[in-house]
Structure 1
Amino acid sequence: MHLEPIWQAPVQQQVYRELLDAFSYPGQVKKLNALIADHHALHALLATLLDGESRLADTTGQLKATHWSLLQAQNFAVEQAQFIVADGKQSTELHPNLGSLASPEHGATLILMVDGFYSQGHAVSLQLKGPGIATTTMLDVEGLNQQWLEQRAQWNQHFPLGVDIILASPNAIVALPRTTHIQVQTKET
């Protein structure tokens, strides 16, 4: 059986380095084109992050049976999942695990699928502040429903409890750790 490169350790190690860098510098777009070829960044992320012990909730139905067998992750309900895949365009009432005061690291990581990181169409402009950002940085996200940001603010209001978010476009990723402060910028018309 021939495995595509995203399912092999060398590519997963490179994707992991890009993901670590993304979490170190929130809002920085990490292009994965050279690593993932014609695969979606979501699949590369999941292949990198998950193993047989991981609890995953796919609210999109994007993962096919072949993906599940390669990931070897356990299919869980959102409330118990460590990783949650969701469509950034769709607003849903999720109740992810926020961790506990004794173990805040158990808060879920949401991977939101978006269209891209550019300021065209209906892009949402975000001003980001916090650890890893010198002063502020701007991020334009196409295909992100602003209700996700409102829910994120509620989930993360009792820091260190909360969720971390990874935005995944077809060929790039951006990390928004729970320590990042996000303010939506209104566009002038």
Structure 2
Amino acid sequence: MTVHPVHAAPTQTPMAARTLVTFRALLAALSSPGEVIALPAGHDPFALIGETLLDLETSFHTPDAALRARLGDTGARPLPAHEADYIFFPVLDDAALAALREARRGDPLEPQRAATVIIGTTFVGDAVTLRGPGISGVRRAALGLPPAFWTQRLAALSYPLGWDAFLVAPDAVAGLPRTTRVEVD
């Protein structure tokens, strides 16, 4: 009798496949600050990131009602900006900048308790100069953020304290870890 091995491969749901690709894109974005990395096309990038990062043990904040409902489907808890693990700002307006001032920066004993912010942008406009881990020398990148954001980010940083950011446009993301130094021209 000949015995034939069974070669079974696990199947992935479309959502599992999408979140795996998104997770890898987010890792690549933080590993190479300021480099624009592709996200799965044809999906709301904020919802993609939310379904990838949020779960029953996390919290989030967003001023966008439709996005709040979508993110709530992950089981994560909606909280005020100053308490949330993840803060989503599809539009970086004055109200978002005010709420960003409240984002958790961690504390000296638990810097990992800092928030991660996810901010909508266009990746156009004046380039900034980036230096730090993940960048060989310097990197120039047009990240599409207003001067007020850069001022606020600088005020929030005191390594290891500060928040990490994902900058999001349709179908693309760039990472901005707290370890990245930014010079605005």
Q: Please, what TM-score do these two structures have when normalized by structure 1?
A: 0.83
Q: Give structure 2 stretches of 5+ with no counterpart.
A: 1-12
Letter in 1 for 2:178: R
The secondary structure found in structure 2 opposite 1:112 is strand
Count of residues in correspondence between the two structures: 169
1:73 aligns with 2:80: no
Identify the residue that residue 146 of structure 2 maps to in structure 1.
145
Report sequence identity in percent.
30
Identify the residue that residue 176 of structure 2 maps to in structure 1.
176
Partners of 2:16 and 2:149 in 1: how far apart? Answer: 32
Partners of 1:68 and 1:76 in 2: how far apart? Answer: 12
**C-alpha deviations, 1:112-146, integer Å up to 9, x for none?**
111x223xxxx13111000000000011123x222
Give the CA RMSD over aligned residues: 1.7
Identify the residue that residue 106 of structure 2 maps to in structure 1.
99
Q: 1:61 to 1:113 in 2, by over 3 A?
A: farther
Q: Give structure 1 stretches of 5+ with no counterpart.
A: none
Q: After the TM superposition, which segments of 4 or more aligned residues of structure 1 sit over 4 Å from their partners?
A: none
**C-alpha deviations, 1:52-103, integer Å up to 9, x for none?**
11110002334153x1342221000011101001145413223111111111
Shift of the alpha carbon at 1:155? 0.5
Letter in 1 for 2:78: N
Identify the residue that residue 120 of structure 2 maps to in structure 1.
113
Identify the residue that residue 164 of structure 1 maps to in structure 2.
164
Shift of the alpha carbon at 1:149? 1.2
